[in-house]
Structure 1
Amino acid sequence: MTVEFKPGVRYRMPAVFGPAPGPRQKADGTLWTPEEAGTMNATWMTVKYRTRREQLERILPPGFHLRGEPEVHASLAFFSDLYWLAGRGYGIVMIEIPTTYRGRTETIDGAFCPVLWEGTPDAIMTGREELGFPKLFADIPALEVDHAGGTAGGSASWFDFRFFEIALHGLVEVHEEPKLPGPGGAALFYKYMPRTGSFGSGGCDVAYATTSQPQPGAAGDTSPIKFGGANFRKWKAAGGSVNWHRATFEQLPTTFHVVNGVADIDIVEYLGAELVEFSAPGQAVSANVIRPVEPAL
Structure 2
Amino acid sequence: MSATVGRPEVFIATLVAKDRLDAGDISAACDAVRGTAGAVVDGVACDVRFLCSGEGRSPDDATDVHGSKAPASAGARAALEAALPHLDIIIQREPDRHRKLLIADMDSTMITVECIDELADYVGLKAQVSDVTERAMRGELDFAEALGSRVALLAGLSEATVAECLRERVKLMGGAVDLITAFKAAGGRAVLVSGGFTHFTDSVAQQIGFDRAIANHLVVQDGKLTGEVEFPIVDAQTKRETLLAEATALGIPINATLAIGDGANDIPMIEAAGLGIAYHAKPKTEAAADASVRFGDLNVVRYALGLD
Task: Tell me which interval the TM-score lies in, with the shorter structure as reference length.
Answer: under 0.3
Higher helix proportion: 2
Larger Rg: 2
Higher strand proportion: 1
